[in-house]
Amino acid sequence: MAQVRYTRNLFLRGICIIYLFAFLSFYIQIPGLYGDNGILPARTQVDLKARATLFNKLKQKPTFLWFAPYLGLNVEYMLDVLSLLGIILSFTGFISQKFCIAPIFAGLWALYYSLYQIGQTFMWFQWDILLLEVGFLCILVAPFWYPQRGKPSTPSDTVTFWTVRWLLFRLMFASGVVKLTSDCPLWWKLDALNIHFESQCIPTPLAWYVHHLPTWFLRLSIVATNVIELAIPFLFFFLNRKVRIIAFYLQVFLQICIIATGNYNFFNFLTICLCISLLDDQFFYKRKSKNDKSRIINYLSTLISVLVYGGVIYGTYIYYNLRITDNWTIQSDIAFTKEQFDYILSRVVSFSICVGIASLGLTAVDSIANSATTTKGIRNKVTTATVTIFYTIAVCLIFAISLVPYSTLHTSTILSKNTTISVPLKQMHAKVDHLHLVNSYGLFRRMTGVEGRPEVIIEGSDSIEGPWREYEFLYKPGNINNSLPFVAPHQPRLDWQMWFAALGTYKQNPWLMSLTYRLLTGQPEVLALINTVESPFRDRPPKYIRASLYYYHYTPWSRTTNTNAWWTREREGEYFPIFSRDHPPFIDYVKKMKVIQDKPDFKIANEPLKLILDNLRFLVGKIEASLFLWGVFTAGCTVIVTGYSSSVSKKK
C-alpha cells in the first residue's frame, strides 16, 4: 500500500493557507459589503431582537452570528469576530502541522459556512462552495489529534484521502464537459480564447500579451485545455503511479497558466491543493532501486506511461484533426459532432461512476486489510480495523451522495435508469444539500464579450445637466489608461459582481441600487471598496448618479508608442437612469431592501472588545488588500523557517 501520510499533511497545510486567504479577503471587505452601512447589510439576514429561541434561530439560518448578543456585539462586529477566528485557526494550521487536526478543520468549516449564510449575491461563487466541500472532507482526512511523540495516528489515510481525488476528478471533468454541452459556438469552433483574455472578470497584465498571440496557438491551447479537463482526469485512478504523477503536472500547469492570465482569487490555488491527492510519499522521498527486479518494474512503469500518454496524444490528433501547415503552424478543428459527443458522454458518465466505485472498493479493501496487519496486539488490531471501517462507511456515503450532482452532467446515466438507486440517493442528497457537502461544478459554460467586454461605468454629478465624472474601481477596467492588476488570491467581490451586472440589467441586480444610495450619501465604508484616491467625490458625494454601459476592447498589438492605453471603449447606452438622494421612488425601493431601517440596531454592550476590533480594522485598512494577504502569508513562512532552524540548532 502506498504511503500518503506526508502527502496528506502537505495537503492539509495547503488548505489552511487557502482558508487563510479566504478569511483575510472576506474580513477586509466586511464594512463595505455587509456592515450596517454596507451594500447588503448582514443585519437584514439575522434579526438579533427576534423572540425565537436560539435553537429555532439556528434552525432557520445556521450561523454563529446568532451568538452576537452573548458577546455584547451587533452583527457587523460579530462578522469581524468570526473572520478573525477563522484567520487565527487557519494561520496556526499553516505554521504548525500539530494544528492540522479534525477539530480545527471542523471549526474552519463552521466559521466559513456561517459567513456564507449571510453572503448573499457576493458569495454565490463556485469557489466558495468548493471551499466548503473541501473543508468538510478535511474533517475526515485530518487526524483527530497529534500525539506528543511519534507519528500522527490516523487509521485510514488512503481511503479518506481518496475522497479528495474523487472531488478533483468531478471538478475538472465537469469543467471540461460544460464547455461543450452548453452549445457555445466559440468552444466548438475553438475560438473561445480569442475573446476570453479580454472578457474575463479581472485580467492580469499578462492577459493583454496572451490575447495577441497567434490564433492558431490559441486554438491549440483550447485543444490542450479540453484534453487536460476531459481525458486526463480518468488517469487520476490509474494504478500506475507515474501516469498519475504526469497527470498531476498537467493539471498544475493548467492552473498556473490561469493564475498568470486571470485573477480568480484562491480558486486555482485551491485546485492545485486538490492535485496533491494524485501524489504519494514516494514522490517526496524517492528511494533508489538497488536490485534488478526494482529496476525492471521501474522500466515497465515508464513504458506504460509512454504508451498511455502516447494514446492520449494520438487520440488528440484524431479527434481534433491536428495538422501542420506549410507555414509550420499547427491547425486544429473538432472532428466530432455534437450528437457524437452527447452519445459518448452518456456512456462516459456511467463508466466514470463505475471507475469510481472500483477505485474506492480497491482502496477500501486495501485500507481495511492493512489496518489489521500493520498494528501489533489483538486489541490494537480490532480497534484500528473498527475505526477504519467506520471511516470507510463515511467515505462511501459521501461518494454515494456526490453521484447525484455529478450524474446531472448527462441525464442518460445508470442513476436515472435505476430508480431504486436514484430515489434514495436523491433523498439523501436533498437532506444535506443546504450544507454544500457535495456540489456540481462547471466554469465558463458560455463565453461572453463577443461584441466586446461590457462594463458598467457609474458617474456622478452635482447638476443633472453635467458634467458627469466617473467613479474608478480598484481592480476592474474603467480608465483605459490604467494598468491591469495582479490581485489574486484576494477576491474584490464588488468588482467581481460589477462584471456580472454588466451581463444583465440593473433590475436583475437590485444590489446596485443599494450601492448607488451609499455613493449618494458618501458612505466611507463603501467608498473604501473603490478607488477613493482618484475619486472626484472623495470630499463630498454628488447630488446625482447614473450608469452607462460601455464595450471595451484591448488596444491592438501595434499600438503607437505615444499612448499608454490598455483599452479602447465605446459607449453603448444608458445602463440605469439618473437617481438622486431625495428621489422618493428610489428611496422607497432602498427601504424595501432594508438598506435603510428606521428601527435602531442592536446595542453594543461590550465596549472593550469593540475598541479592540476598531483599532485592528483601522490598522488593516491602511494596507492594500492583496499586499496584506501576501504579507500575512510571508509572515507565516517566516515563522515556519525560523521554527525549523531553531529545531535543527537544538538537535545539534
Split at pLDDT 50, 70, 90, the class of 649 is low
C-alpha–C-alpha distance, residues 413 and 348, integer Å: 9
Task: Please tell me whether residue 38 adopts helix, strand or coil conformation.
Answer: coil
C-alpha–C-alpha distance, residues 315 and 232, integer Å: 12
Helix 126-141 / helix 5-34 crossing angle, nearest 10 deg: 140
CA distances from 17 to 94, 115, 125, 410 (A): 6, 18, 19, 35
C-alpha–C-alpha distance, residues 551 and 223, integer Å: 28
| Burial (CB count within 10 angstroms: exposed 0-12, middle 13-18, buried 19+), residue 399 | buried
CB-based contacts of 375, cutoff 8 Å, min separation 6: 381, 384
Phi, psi of 141 (to 5 degrees): -70, -40
237 within 8 A of 352, measured Cβ to Cβ: no
- Record the cell numbers describing residue 357, joined without a space: 466505485
C-alpha–C-alpha distance, residues 33 and 115, integer Å: 12
CA distances from 104 to 6, 99, 138 (A): 19, 7, 10
Residue 476's pLDDT is what? 94
290 within 8 A of 303, measured Cβ to Cβ: no
The verdict on whether omega for the bond into residue 524 sits within 30 degrees of 0, i.e. cis, is no
What is the biggest distance separating any 2 CA atoms in the chain, rounded to whole angstroms?
88
Asked if the model's pLDDT at residue 552 lies above 60, the reply is yes
C-alpha–C-alpha distance, residues 377 and 372, integer Å: 10
Split at pLDDT 50, 70, 90, the class of 420 is very low
Among 131-140, 394-403, 439-448, the least confident range: 439-448
- Record the cell numbers describing residue 534, joined without a space: 482618484
Taking phi over 0 as left and psi of -120 to 50 as alpha, with beta for the rest, 473 belongs to beta
If you average pLDDT over residues 15-28, what whole number do you get?
A: 98
Closest CA to 453 of 476, 430, 437: 476
Task: Please tell me whether residue 545 adopts helix, strand or coil conformation.
Answer: strand
% the chain with pLDDT above 90? 74
Residue 647's pLDDT is what? 64
Residue indicated by cell numbers 482618484: 534
**Per-residue pLDDT tens over the stretch 146-159:** 765 545 546 578 99
**Per-residue pLDDT tens over the stretch 215-256:** 999 999 999 999 999 999 999 999 999 999 999 999 999 999
575 within 8 A of 459, measured Cβ to Cβ: no
Cβ atoms within 10 Å of 576's Cβ, excluding its own: 20
**Per-residue pLDDT tens over the stretch 271-296:** 999 999 999 999 988 766 567 778 88
Residue 175's pLDDT is what? 95
C-alpha–C-alpha distance, residues 460 and 454, integer Å: 20
Asked if the model's pLDDT at residue 418 lies above 90, the reply is no
DSSP calls for 403-465? HHHHHTT-SSSHHHH-HHHHHHHHHHHHHHGGGTSS------SS---TT-EEEEEEEEESSTT
C-alpha–C-alpha distance, residues 442 and 174, integer Å: 5
Residue 384's pLDDT is what? 83
Mean pLDDT of the chain: 91
C-alpha–C-alpha distance, residues 431 and 381, integer Å: 35
98 or 601, greater pLDDT: 98
Asked if the model's pLDDT at residue 26 lies above 80, the reply is yes
Phi, psi of 577 (to 5 degrees): -75, 180
109 or 424, greater pLDDT: 109
Asked if the model's pLDDT at residue 563 lies above 90, the reply is no
Split at pLDDT 50, 70, 90, the class of 494 is very high
Among 47-56, 156-165, 239-248, the least confident range: 47-56
Split at pLDDT 50, 70, 90, the class of 422 is confident
Domain boundaries, the chain: 1-154+617-652, 190-333, 338-450, 453-581
Closest CA to 528 of 21, 22, 123, 30: 30
| pTM for this prediction | 0.95
C-alpha–C-alpha distance, residues 625 and 429, integer Å: 38
Residue 297's pLDDT is what? 87
Split at pLDDT 50, 70, 90, the class of 419 is very low
- Record the cell numbers describing residue 336, joined without a space: 466530432
% the chain with pLDDT above 70? 93
Residues written for the chain: 652
Among 69-83, 136-150, 191-205, 437-451, the least confident range: 136-150
Helix 378-407 / helix 157-181 crossing angle, nearest 10 deg: 10
- Record the cell numbers describing residue 407, joined without a space: 450524474
Task: Identify the H or E element spanning 484.
Answer: none
C-alpha–C-alpha distance, residues 577 and 261, integer Å: 35
Q: What are the residues facing 553 on neighbouring strands?
A: 568
Q: What are the residues facing 459 on neighbouring strands?
A: 470, 546
C-alpha–C-alpha distance, residues 430 and 319, integer Å: 39
